């Protein structure tokens, strides 16, 4: 079964509140957006073969100068959108070593050579600007910003290389805006932010419920209320001791220290409830208010468990989205 179907069925099957479902990661929409990104790259001439060769040429480079010192390379950057700080603007910067408009790296495949010459011809280099001063345009590769640096001013790529034989030549830097890649990240950022907001609201609500329940139990079990209250106080102490032993959502033991998964938390919660039943604690509660408070306590744990499941489902969706495209080509999330 495809994950998109599994994800959709999980949201329906678990009985999450409607507002939670509406805030879930739009997995299907993001998958469609990834297809748009792939098509966008293909239209640029960036198929898997070209990307693989460009990525291979950049394995050992860590900054712009090292990129320029080779014959060809590329940089994939995620920059903050100047018009909206909540969003990012992805861009692809390609460094092309040209001699009379022809890519001169002897190791280029025909497909990569065609791509480099295509974007170099579409971009309009400004010989009066430096590589660092070029800024990306928007829309299509034809509006990409570019700049040129004489190859003679760069560190020598080594004797016998194509660049050495082809002098004089230029290294042209071309920044290609990635429209649909930007759309992908904007959708993902917005929805992850909405999920964070939802989780914050749910956390505040549960914290308030815990405080209210604590005040209620304190009031119910006040010694001044009589013998029944004192008896129920002993039972509540037993309940909380069992709950701490259950370590429902987090374990402090050395053997399994850390947060529980929803499946583990469910097992621990069942263990806690079984212990309460086996010890007849509910039957021993003398006050109806105590029994109602215990029911509220279980309901809070059920909501916490449901919340944990919801987080896991969405986290898995994000992981699937971010990992699946990286298997297709070396450009992140493309």
pLDDT digits (tens, 9 = 90+) for 303-314: 999 999 999 999
d(CA 181, CA 76): 11
pTM over 0.75: no
Q: Which residues pair with 75 in a beta bridge?
A: 93
Other CB atoms within a 10 A radius of the CB of residue 125 amount to 18
Select from 16, 13, 33, 42 the least CA-distant residue to 308.
Answer: 16
Q: Residue 312's pLDDT is what?
A: 95
Give whole-number Cα distances, 235 to 123, 290, 298, in Å: 78, 10, 15
CA 146 to chain CA mean position, Å: 31
d(CA 194, CA 154): 47
**Is the omega angle on the peptide bond into residue 39 within 30 degrees of 0, that is, cis?**
no
Residue range 284-292: average pLDDT? 95
Q: Residue 141's pLDDT is what?
A: 42
Q: Residue 33's pLDDT is what?
A: 86
Do 43 and 71 meet the contact criterion of CB atoms below 8 Å apart? no
Q: Residue 232's pLDDT is what?
A: 94
Select from 264, 306, 319 the least CA-distant residue to 3.
Answer: 319
* Residues contacting residue 318 through CB under 8 Å, at least 6 positions apart: 25, 188, 192
Q: Residue 122's pLDDT is what?
A: 66
d(CA 292, CA 83): 54
Q: pLDDT tens-digit profile of 136-192?
A: 334 444 345 555 544 444 444 444 444 444 445 577 777 777 788 888 888 888 898
Residue range 121-135: average pLDDT? 47
Do 52 and 330 meet the contact criterion of CB atoms below 8 Å apart? yes
Q: Residue 42's pLDDT is what?
A: 80
Q: Residue 287's pLDDT is what?
A: 94
Q: Is 161 helix (H, G, I), strand (E, B) or coil?
A: coil
Q: Is the pLDDT of residue 296 over 90?
A: yes
Q: Residue 66's pLDDT is what?
A: 43
The token pair at 166 is 């082809």
Do 128 and 149 meet the contact criterion of CB atoms below 8 Å apart? no
* Residues contacting residue 310 through CB under 8 Å, at least 6 positions apart: 14, 16, 20, 24
Q: Is the pLDDT of residue 87 over 70?
A: no
């Amino acid at each position: 079964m495809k994950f998109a179907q599994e994800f959709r069925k999980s949201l329906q099957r678990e009985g999450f509140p409607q507002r939670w479902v509406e805030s879930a990661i739009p997995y299907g929409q993001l998958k469609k957006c990834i297809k748009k990104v792939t098509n966008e790259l293909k239209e640029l001439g960036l198929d898997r073969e070209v990307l693989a060769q460009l990525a291979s040429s950049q394995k050992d480079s860590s900054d712009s100068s090292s990129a320029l010192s080779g014959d060809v390379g590329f940089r994939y950057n995620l920059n903050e959108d100047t018009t909206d700080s909540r969003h990012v603007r992805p861009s692809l910067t390609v460094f092309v070593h040209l001699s009379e408009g022809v890519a001169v790296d002897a190791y280029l495949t025909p497909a990569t050579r065609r791509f480099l010459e295509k974007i170099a011809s579409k971009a309009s280099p400004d010989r009066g600007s430096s590589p660092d001063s070029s800024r990306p345009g928007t829309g299509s590769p034809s509006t990409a910003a570019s700049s040129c640096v004489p190859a003679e001013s760069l560190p020598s790529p080594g004797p016998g290389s194509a660049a050495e034989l082809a002098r004089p030549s230029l290294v042209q830097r071309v920044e290609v805006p990635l429209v649909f890649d930007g759309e992908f990240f904007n959708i993902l950022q917005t929805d992850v932010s909405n999920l964070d907001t939802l989780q914050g609201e749910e956390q505040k609500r549960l914290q308030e419920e815990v405080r209210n329940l604590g005040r209620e139990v304190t009031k119910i079990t006040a010694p001044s209320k009589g013998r029944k209250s004192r008896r129920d106080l002993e039972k509540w102490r037993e309940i909380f001791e069992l709950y701490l032993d259950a370590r429902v959502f987090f374990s402090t033991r050395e053997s399994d220290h850390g947060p529980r998964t929803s499946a583990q938390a469910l097992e621990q919660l069942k263990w806690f409830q079984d212990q309460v039943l086996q010890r007849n604690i509910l039957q021993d509660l003398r006050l109806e208010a105590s029994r109602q408070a215990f029911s509220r306590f279980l309901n809070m744990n059920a909501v916490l468990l449901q919340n944990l499941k919801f987080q896991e489902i969405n986290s898995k969706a994000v992981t699937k989205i971010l990992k699946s495209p990286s298997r297709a080509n070396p450009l992140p999330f493309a």
